[in-house]
Amino acid sequence: MSLSSTTYHFADREALIRAALERAAERFAAFVRHWAEEHSDATPQEAVGALADGVMSCLGEGRTAMVVEYELHAAALRRPELREAASLPARTTTEALARLLGPTAAATAAPLMTGRCLHAMNAPIAPTRDEILTVLTHALLPHGG
């Protein structure tokens, strides 16, 4: 996007970053709500398996979107006015997963998945689904579900 295009639609670079972060956060929140509806009858073990699939998607077709979202979240670290929007995905994930996994596991899931995605995307050799599933199961279903 050219500079003239951005200044036509946004007052400055900060407004562009804010709009991009808010849109990414809202899009992810809508995805999580839809995911929770689709998995509303899942057992905790099935839900954790679906979460492992979500981590795997950040290594494939969802990689570019995840990189952009991480960049925008990094921007929120330096800009307090962006933190509300940046925290929306984690809040939505916790709320959606509480019904499936319970409140403690749900609060654990968002930061754990964020970390797993980030580490997997940076790893010289990507982890397998089974490796990711093992970690998620251990953390979210400590008694095996």
Q: How far apart are CA 12 and CA 42, in angstroms?
A: 45
H helix intervals, the chain:
3-9, 13-38, 44-57, 63-78, 83-101, 103-122, 129-140
Q: Is the pLDDT of residue 131 over 90?
A: yes
pLDDT digits (tens, 9 = 90+) for 4-34: 555 667 888 888 888 888 888 888 889 889 9
Would you state the structure tokens that stand for residue 83, as one six-digit string? 């933190």
CATH of 16-140 among 1.10.357.10, 3.90.1300.10, 3.10.290.10, 3.40.50.300:
1.10.357.10
Give me the phi and psi of 38, to 5 degrees please: -60, -30
Which DSSP symbol is given to 82? Answer: G
Q: How far apart are CA 126 and CA 5, in angstroms?
A: 38
What was the pLDDT predicted at 69?
78
What was the pLDDT predicted at 51?
94
What was the pLDDT predicted at 20?
84
pLDDT digits (tens, 9 = 90+) for 76-106: 899 898 889 888 888 999 999 999 999 999 9
Domain extents in the chain: 16-140
Give me the phi and psi of 128, to 5 degrees please: -85, 165
pTM over 0.95: no
Would you state the structure tokens that stand for residue 84, as one six-digit string? 């509300």
